Structure 1
């Protein structure tokens, strides 16, 4: 309570210490590279098809291979940082990601590119939890909100920067390499990250305990069984094997929880402590990650399809059309720490979810009004900036709010859990919105035209609005729980 009456100079001084600034700069640079790569392929689909002779299923596997591989070992990747040190795992992840990016850029067939993208995703799942955990450990509590606000700005900026970078590189056709530079550009960045990590990422002694191999394997199988059908099931016509995998998920979840409880009872170190689930705010925050991001990432995918295939936008024009979203989110991300200090985290996150819901509803109205598709990017820009403002109020504050309740020796694993929930939500959103977007579609994407895609995009946005409304309800429950905890006699 004494912090609230501290002198203004102490409260407002959020300047990083030199060691904090170095660590934050390096890990945020790594985060930018990883997150840009999740969206960099979206605008490169036509170029990939021409350059490699890739079919639509091939391109879908290029996207899905990264997403699934990235998600399935995020929890294990986070725990590896807890056990063996963040700096070490940061360097291993960065080096592996750099080599995988080189393999992507040199791929000579769709199969080689798909395999290299899977490698990229596995490397990212080791590297990204170290980014979050390093910010949580290396930056002091009074400046941590600002650090996560900057991470929120990186998340939103990289999501759009990826397509913009891809558009510029493909349009320039550097050395006649077409789409290849969108992966090769990671190589010098990765080399710099590995070279600077020993001096800029603080050393931290690991727990020197054995990894929970049984739990790690079980959670990988669980996530594969859940993500693979969600990611490629619709495009395969929802085959029987997909439904069988989905039916296995509750069994695998039960086995995982039993294994973790058994390890904790034995005094050993589980992959994910069952005690974490006793915190209602943590459970609600996890559900919020799942629901909220089911609306965010899929929007960019289907918006890109609409304007590229329906209106003939090129890669660069597509990226520019999506940029207003990032502009709005970057603005509020940079200010989110100060907003939280004035209104608290749950209120700020709730305001962000409501703004996203209203902004997405306005997008439906704008698309409905613009029946011809003329000047589509300009028509959508105001609604996208407004929705982006809401996104920036959620990204940094939510992550900091959840991790503030977590022990340092759990920060890596919890970072992996939250990132996994984000990826699961994205995959779920792609699948659910895809049902609305492609409800009657069979055949080649090039056969689609704007009149049909306009209706599809509006139906997809109805799902987006619904997800944001549900996310708002979850935040309200978190705020209510937080208020009850604060007002209880034990506090």
Structure 2
């Protein structure tokens, strides 16, 4: 299973996109796995349960997705406050963002398969309980090391609970009820995405009970406990018929490759780039080759590969993954750089930063419906246009930072963010469906999981790469002394770093020409059509 709803609502670690990439692919995957019908409900497909109970259960499972969406976005604007309070290095901020997305991406597909094997209720409850406990640890973490470990645990447990949500919806409700159910889920995700930065800024600014930034994590605890209690009492058990196997060696190899690359990028400068870190970077592609060979053998033996090799037989899918990865390296890192520039470089408050960056999801909300209603058969066009608009927004932000300097105004930041949001709203809702449009229906579930894992990994990798560029240009970001020389250094460094984001979006727009062409017949039309009930 995967989280496509999420990609439209959030790029991990970025100021929230209003829907994280694409619900339609997740819906396709859930439908491919569940294939429910309008036949009389059974114990495994309790669509005949009382209407009131079904909508209560919908509120329970969408509450879990809301927590995930909220927690990704609520943390972005408070990272400087976290760093100050813990006396931590800049790498702590990078890991706080990238660690969650990385763990989520690595265990996303496995989390869905665990639900198939052990029952979706059981795995959902394990995910919610784990997420709640990890949130409490984040809130009370006395040092950066424990905070990072807890964020990794949050990402892992989110990968257990989120994939079960779509399966629960398609088994609880009849097909004619899916549109409303998916709309409720989409609204919950959008609320978490849009409200996350604002809530984070407000709670941190209020300094409730003297807890400061810690409240943004502790707010998850009562919500998590409520979801756990209701799900344990009301949610029916459901699992996939037939055998399902886990590819744990594949997960281990992919995790090793990801950390071999990510750890040096995040920690390298602060530790002086020792020789073993350079060897680690060189080891990453070797581990990826070993992973690919393992996947081919596993698929040939029993078809249980984590990433099925036949997906890559279609060039459009391989190119689509590259486009997705590139786009989300730019999306996932933009919030980190902007937040540090505004708070450490210019001395803005957490709340003022949150209010300015809230223009991003507003922009998404404006164009999202256009893409959702008209972009599914013109995916290549919408992806290219959206990426070009995001590149333009990044250039506007760069120009404002460089020219205004210390006098950068709220409206200049919000205006550039609004343009980036316009582009995200055009691109995000159709990206995954476009990448998957030539994948056979029987492989759509696996393909959806891979696309969403790549999306999350792209966000994590972007935070690592852009964070390294930014830190190299600014030097020590932790001091609160604001003087003209420091402001000039931050403006120069932020402007230079934003070239990466603008370049990533521009290259995404160029590469979008290699995505599958618009549908011209009924068969391809059905392949690109979003699953019924995806959030509107």
| TM-score, normalization by structure 1 | 0.82
Give SS of 2:217's match: helix
2:470 maps to 437
1:457–1:47 Cα change, 3 Å: closer
1:38 maps to 72
Give SS of 1:370's match: helix
Q: Are positions 1:310 and 2:345 aligned together?
A: yes
Give SS of 2:238's match: coil
In the aligned structure 2, how far is the partner of 1:295 from the partner of 1:466? 8
Query: Which has the larger displacement, 44-53 or 321-330?
Result: 44-53
Unpaired stretches in structure 2, ≥5 consecutive residues: 1-46, 526-536
1:152–1:333 contact (8 Å) kept in structure 2: no
2:138–2:146 contact (8 Å) kept in structure 1: yes
1:321, CA displacement in angstroms? Answer: 1.1
Query: Which has the larger displacement, 95-104 or 70-79?
Result: 70-79
Kindly tell me the number of residue pairs found equivalent between the two proteins: 470
In the aligned structure 1, how far is the partner of 2:162 from the partner of 2:210? 32
Give SS of 1:480's match: coil
1:363–1:108 Cα change, 3 Å: closer
Residue from 382, 386, 393 that aligns with 1:352 = 386
Give SS of 2:142's match: coil
In the aligned structure 1, how far is the partner of 2:373 from the partner of 2:412? 32
In the aligned structure 2, how far is the partner of 1:326 from the partner of 1:469? 21
Deviations 1:384-416 (A, max 9, x none): 212201101222222344456667876665444
In the aligned structure 2, how far is the partner of 1:160 from the partner of 1:33? 13
1:296–1:483 Cα change, 3 Å: farther
Unpaired stretches in structure 1, ≥5 consecutive residues: 1-16
2:127 maps to 93
Counting only pairs closer than 5 Å after superposition, residues 20-39 of structure 1 correspond to structure 2 as 26-39=60-73
Q: Are positions 1:423 and 2:456 aligned together?
A: yes
1:406–1:458 Cα change, 3 Å: same
Deviations 1:102-126 (A, max 9, x none): 2222333433333322221221232
2:135–2:150 contact (8 Å) kept in structure 1: yes
1:394 maps to 427
2:257–2:288 contact (8 Å) kept in structure 1: yes
Q: Are positions 1:188 and 2:225 aligned together?
A: no
Counting only pairs closer than 5 Å after superposition, residues 5-404 of structure 1 correspond to structure 2 as 26-131=60-165, 158-159=192-193, 161-197=195-231, 199=234, 203-205=238-240, 207-340=242-375, 344-374=378-408, 376-402=409-435
In the aligned structure 2, how far is the partner of 1:276 from the partner of 1:135? 27
Q: What do you get for the CA RMSD once the two structures are aligned?
A: 3.6
In the aligned structure 1, how far is the partner of 2:187 from the partner of 2:326? 20
Give SS of 2:273's match: coil
1:417–1:86 Cα change, 3 Å: farther
1:229–1:246 contact (8 Å) kept in structure 2: yes
1:312, CA displacement in angstroms? Answer: 0.9
In the aligned structure 2, how far is the partner of 1:25 from the partner of 1:31? 10
Q: Are positions 1:469 and 2:506 aligned together?
A: yes
Query: Which has the larger displacement, 274-283 or 43-52?
Result: 43-52
